[in-house]
Amino acid sequence: MAADVISAAGIPVTLFEKRPGPARKLFIAGSSGLNITYDAPLSEFTSFYRTEPQFWNRVLTAFGPNQWLQFLHELGLKTFLGTSGRYFVEEMNAARLVLLWRERLISRGAHFEMSAECVNFDVSLSEPGVTLHFAGRESQTFSAVGFGLGGGSYEPDEIPLRWPSMFINKQIGVHPFQASNVGYQVAWPQAFLQESEGRAIKNIRLTCPTKGSQQGDLMITAYGLEGTPIYFVGESGTVLIDLKPDLTHEQMMEKCSRSTENLSPIRRIKKYLNFDEPVLSLIFHLTDPPVRNDLSLLLERIKAFPIRLGDPQPIAEAISTAGGIELTELTPDFMFHKCPGVFAAGEMLNWDAPTGGFWIQGCVSQGHLAGLGILKFLKERR
């Protein structure tokens, strides 16, 4: 996005990427739908970011969801609003977005250099210029440099990540990375896993004593649980799951008591409450017989089914990571106080957000401002 802003002003840009091709994380995000932003008024949108409301208010006022959607439409993409308030590109993957965006940048004279891992940089104050040093190739000097090096998730070959040392060596504050939006371990009984691994528990309301409640779907995995309500909780401990949020205990009791057939409580809930197989499997395998055989106790448990979340999955498996360059290291233009002419934006900065399109939106909004900041810096230098 920063390169887009700069190249639109007619200034030549080179984009370096350590991998053989660009935008790998967007392709990964695209494998689960590519949720590009969220539908909410600015004040509500800002409140989703877990820290720094003033920072986000400024960033999203400058380049918010409407500008981002318009940008995508101008690029030639169609978007749609899902029922959950999330926006997606029509294709629900990143291929066309990356193709069209790359073509546009190249048509404006931008130059892509792949398999180029930046390992260090020097800032020259007397002779304005930032020199980038690469692994196994020649160094290059530019009038200004913008870093967008990303976070620590889905980087199994880099634990810990390599890029932070470039900044730590310059006494720039880098907050340790933590997994954000990650699955949690649950000690499932083997019989339950055999029946339900890889299946979804749909439309539940999950309550956690410290964070409140969140409605959504859960995915049962061999290690435990993932899904938006789990990402929302983001901590170990016992959570309560309402497996039938649309009905009260009394309404369920009334439905289950309609027939005089001689059915066990489990058979009654199966017959009258329309639970999917994974929910019935969960109730059956994780409920002791005294509760399973008492309809009222069983319905109580269905409204507040306790699950103990153990440890989070490792950072490499998280959707995103909090941590990175401290925001206080940067000017409002996203330039390092300590390194004039050097800018940074995106997940490499220390901020955090839930899933819902807030990550991509946050990254492109910051990238837009960093691009404007670079233009301003170049103008002032000239």
Among 6, 16, 350, 377, which residue sits at the site for ligand FAD (rule: CB under 6 A)? Answer: 16
**Rounded least distance, CB 134 to ligand FAD, Å:** 8
Q: With respect to ligand FAD, which residue has the nearer C-beta, 149 or 298?
A: 149
Q: Which of 229, 234, 341, 346 binds ligand FAD (CB under 6 A)?
A: 346
357 binds ligand FAD (CB under 6 A): yes
Site string for ligand FAD, 286-325 (x = CB under 6 A): ---------------------------------xx-----
Minimum CB–partner distance for residue 251 and ligand FAD (Å)? 35
Cα gap 62→72, rounded to integer Å: 16
Q: How far is the CB of 140 from ligand FAD (least distance, A)?
A: 13
Residue 267 Cα distances to 282, 295, 352, angstroms: 14, 10, 44
| Residue number with CB closer to ligand FAD (33 or 82) | 33
Query: For residues 148 and 265, which CB has a smaller minimum distance to ligand FAD in the complex?
Result: 148
The answer to whether 108 contacts ligand FAD (rule: CB under 6 A) is no
Q: Which tokens go with 379?
A: 């103008």
> Per CB under 6 A, which region of 71-79, 298-306, 329-337, 353-361 contacts ligand FAD?
353-361
CB of 352 to ligand FAD, least distance (A): 11
**Contact between 154 and ligand FAD (CB under 6 A)?**
yes
Report if residue 28 touches ligand FAD, rule: CB under 6 A.
yes
**CA proximity to 355, closest of 165, 188, 219, 198:** 219
Chain contacts with ligand FAD (rule: CB under 6 A): 16-19, 24-26, 28-29, 32-35, 117-118, 148-150, 153-154, 163, 319-320, 346-348, 357-360, 363
